[in-house]
Amino acid sequence: MRVKVHEDKVLEMKRILLIIGGGIAAYKCLELIRRLRERGITVRAVMTAAAQQFVTPLSVGTLTNEPVLTDLFDLNAEREIGHIRLSREADLIVVAPATADLLARMAGGHANDLATAILLATAKPVLAAPAMNPRMWSHPATRRNVELLAGDGIGFIGPNTGEMAESGEAGSGRMAEPHEILEAIERFYATESSLGPAGLPGLLPRQLNGPLRGRHVLITAGPTHEPIDPVRYIANRSSGTQGYAIAVAARNLGAEVTLVSGPVNLPDPLGVSVIRVETAQEMQTAVTASLPADIAIFAAAVADWRVDGASNQKIKKNKGKKAIPALKLVENPDILKTVAKMKPGRRPPLVIGFAAETESVIAYAKKKLKAKGCDWLVANDVSPATGIMGGARNTVHIIQGETVDSWPEMDKCEVAGRLLEQAAAHLNAISACT
């Protein structure tokens, strides 16, 4: 098969060694190889034994137009090229998908197959694109391995937050998209000459040259828990998925990101400063303490009310009596409004709110935009039938003044990427005017 060579020849003569691990996301490597080759990059592929269960060496070899290497003990391959030479000839080694097991073997310094032998023997920069089930990604063992590898100078791209290949699964663990890996590679080559190979760890996961470089983006995510007593609380169904995806997207565009998160079952995204809180009041304090920011995005589903005078002791159920406690609610601080109405200088130049509605979504959202004083409002319909709350997909309407831009249904990760790209463009445009 012939692959069209991209007109931009800057990347010609570059050589990438692509190590494909055994995960569902291996199929995305075929697209990655095509895109790399379109840019004139030579790609040599090594596949683990597990990877060959997901995509065939024939497909990979056809797209790379190079022999695919699979076996550490293949005498012919070893005689002709040798695993040490393989890594020496590459400018960059990309591991995609980097499975939990492959990361563990890399962190442990194993060399029991061709992929790990190369990774242990190389002095070349390595970029890993992890892909796994969210529970595997958040497992303490994987967290430890990633920390160790990051400390060793391995660069990471992703994983993204969003829908997983397994039906009904969502969270952090989805492999970065081929175009995102390609962008990371292009950034690597763009900065390589000035930074040298040591530039890679600093380059990722944050884009050194991204449109949000040098900007601070403050994001809130998840629900809040408002205590009734030490064991009971009032909560809502927010999973935090959209807010976490926004934090990752902001980080990927080069921003310094602070994520103030209510209680959620999501791991801290790499390269993001996470402040965990429980209540709306704690969230308000954390947000205020995290200012100044260039962009503030309030994606958290903050409880409107809290229990007045929550009990310090567990409230007892009085057997035999009809003493059902009455909960008196009081209003919580309005974090979005407080920040949106701050004086210029203290107020972030771009304040974005979220509106979760179950009816008259756009009409309510327009009212909310005016009442809160924010710049943009992202409105979504969270009625149970939509499956948005806690789900992986979202249908949003971006409201700016009287203008409504309705986006088609998409993965929360794509919503995040698009929103942040627009926010970055807006911020850079207003900065250019001042």
Positions marked catalytic: 236
Q: How far is CA 127 from CA 51, 136, 202, 211, 221, in A?
A: 18, 20, 12, 21, 29
User: Exactly one of 18, 43, 45, 51 binds ligand FMN (CB under 6 A); which one?
Assistant: 51
Q: Is 120 in the site for ligand FMN (CB under 6 A)?
A: no
Q: Can you give the length of the chain in residues? A: 434
* Angle, helix 57-64 to helix 27-38, in steps of 10 degrees: 10
Indicate whether 236 belongs to the interface with ligand FMN (CB under 6 A).
no
The two tokens of residue 346 are 């203290």
| Nearest CB to ligand FMN, comparing residues 51 and 249 | 51
CA 260 to chain centre: 15
Host H or E run for residue 189? helix 178-195
Q: Are 148 and 107 in contact (CB under 8 A)?
A: yes
- The least CB distance from residue 160 to ligand FMN, in Å, is 13
Q: Which residue in the set 91, 101, 163, 226 belongs to the binding site for ligand FMN (CB under 6 A)?
A: 101
327: exposed, middle or buried (Cβ count in 10 Å: 0-12, 13-18, 19+): middle
Structure tokens at 380: 């979504």
CB of residue 136 vs ligand FMN: minimum separation in angstroms?
6
Nearer CB in complex with ligand FMN: 24/30: 24
171 touches ligand FMN (CB under 6 A): no
Of residues 20 and 218, the one with the C-beta less far from ligand FMN: 20
Q: Binding of ligand FMN at residue 378 (CB under 6 A)?
A: no
**Binding of ligand FMN at residue 23 (CB under 6 A)?**
yes
**99 contributes a contact to ligand FMN by CB under 6 A:** yes
How remote is the C-alpha of 375 from its chain's centroid? 24
Copy the structure tokens of residue 248: 């990752």
Q: How far is the CB of 147 from ligand FMN (least distance, A)?
A: 17
Q: Report in angstroms how near the CB of residue 272 gets to ligand FMN at its nearest.
A: 22
Question: Is residue 375 near ligand FMN by the rule CB under 6 A?
Answer: no
Comparing C-alpha atoms, which of 127, 411, 399 is closest to residue 249? 411
Q: Which amino acid is at 39?
A: R
Q: How far apart are the first and last CA of the chain?
A: 52
Output 21 or 254, the one with its CB closest to ligand FMN.
21
| Residue number, 48 or 161, with CB nearest to ligand FMN | 48
* Comparison of 22 and 205: residue with beta carbon closer to ligand FMN: 22
How many residues bind ligand FMN (CB under 6 A)? The answer is 15
- Of residues 129-168, those binding ligand FMN (CB under 6 A): 131-132, 136
Stretch that binds ligand FMN, among 48-56, 199-207, 218-226, 397-405 (CB under 6 A): 48-56
Q: Cβ(177)–Cβ(96) under 8 Å?
A: no
Query: What would you report as the CA-atom Rg of the chain, rounded to the nearest whole angstrom?
Result: 24
**Cβ neighbours of residue 320 under 8 Å, at least 6 residues apart?**
none
Q: Which stretch binds ligand FMN (CB under 6 A): 97-105, 207-215, 405-413, 422-430?
A: 97-105
Which residues of this protein are in contact with ligand FMN, per CB under 6 A?
Answer: 21-25, 48, 50-51, 99-102, 131-132, 136
